[in-house]
Amino acid sequence: MKIVGFCSFVAFSTILNVKNGLNCGTPCILVKNNDSKPIMDTERFFSMILLVFVLALNSYDLNAQAPSLFDHMYGPSITKIHLETNIESFKANRRNGNYIPAQFSFTDEKGINHNLSVDIRVRGKYRRTKCDLPPIKLNFQVEELIAKGYSSFDKYKIVTHCLDSDEGDEMVLKEHLVYQLQEEISPNSFRTQLIEITYLDTGSGDQSTHYAIIIESDKEMAQRLQGTICQDCYGVNRKFDQENVLYASVFQYMIGNTDWSIAHQKNVKVLLANNSDKFQLVSYDFDFSGLVKAPYYIPQVELGIGYRERYYKGLSCTEEQMLNCLDYFKSKEEQILGKVDMHPFLSKRSKIDIKRYLKTFFTQIDRKSGHKQIKGLAYIN
């Protein structure tokens, strides 16, 4: 932003100086044809240069240059954040979704302090009404972001601990693990950052600290993956990237999640790649998965499944396509189970349970006819 402003100033100053007959370091010339007749005076010549320069700036993507607020939080270490607001006022608006003011601050890995004003509101559907502290939508002021050197990505989601208990914090850690597993399977994933957030209640003066997850903004994800989010891509009568959809669907099957839908665009973003005419899926929100096993998790009985039982909700495919996909997942077994072991904050009990659950998936697909026992899957002949 500063470079753009400086260059514009220099170009404009050059024109004014030439107009006034001053020596500005650039030869004051007359553009002539072969007959040495002037066809453009200096002022007009430089005005045209400035016009081209300004038009180029209008197409210049500042977001591609400046780091986002999320970039400053993103890293291997846990980020500690302070959120100061009236907690009771926030909870009171859980049904109407009104924004309230808050103050957001953290120190990044370089020791730089970041302090911004933000508007927050309750987000989500089921969790917004059931949680002790519902999930949070952050809406920063674009002007402040740009003024402080960030890109203009201004909207982020926070997955809270939901329940005021150790179980709530453990649930956050398990869902964070799922996002990490998704990144292991496919680059078509939201970046997430595990945070330790201290809530400072301006109403009561109380404060509490819990684990949470902050998710990069939708537009930031789309730009990183070089695509555009389709806002009204309901239904399945679209040209999807078959491999992408298949991998995303099998991932959901692996973690035992049925709380998603392509047709209703539920807990998925439909992305159209800039260099393609095919749509892709980016999944999020995994608290209803059998892996996370949230306290409020209940199986979808209409699918004919029981507690933590898996069900395939993806598009139909050929048997060959499914076998190739499952071979890929088999090749990732060691890395996937390794990420469970390496998670620094998950309890030993959770790690044992999650690995046991994931191994039932790998045991199934290892069997010669295991792919034929995938409930919900319909093959294309």
What whole-number distance in Å separates Cα of residue 344 and Cα of residue 173? 10
Q: What is the pLDDT of residues 76-102, one digit of tens each?
A: 999 999 999 999 999 999 988 899 999
Contact by Cβ (8 Å): 364, 373: yes
Angstrom distances, CA of residue 49 to CA of 32, 43, 97, 189: 17, 10, 49, 43
The string of pLDDT tens digits covering residues 275-311 is 888 999 999 999 999 999 998 888 998 999 999 999 9
CA atoms within 13 A on the CB side of 171: 23
Pairwise CA distance, residues 106 & 77, whole Å = 13
Residue 20 has pLDDT above 50, yes or no: no
Query: What confidence tens digit (pLDDT) does each residue in 133-153 have?
Result: 999 999 999 999 999 999 999
CA-closest candidate to residue 126, choices 314, 267, 281 = 267
Q: In this prediction, what percent of the chain has a pLDDT beyond 90?
A: 72
- pLDDT band of residue 35 (cuts 50, 70, 90) is low
| pLDDT score for 109 | 92
What is d(CA 359, CA 257) in angstroms, rounded to the nearest whole number?
A: 16
pLDDT 10s digits, 247-275: 999 999 999 999 999 988 999 999 998 98
pLDDT at 65: 76
Strand order in the sheet with 227-230: 227-230, 268-273, 279-283
- 326 or 368, greater pLDDT: 326
Tokens of 327: 């071979």
pLDDT at 27 over 50: no
Residues contacting 158, CB < 8 A, separation 6+? 135, 136, 137, 138, 195, 197, 212, 213, 214, 215
| Residue listed under structure tokens 């998950």 | 346
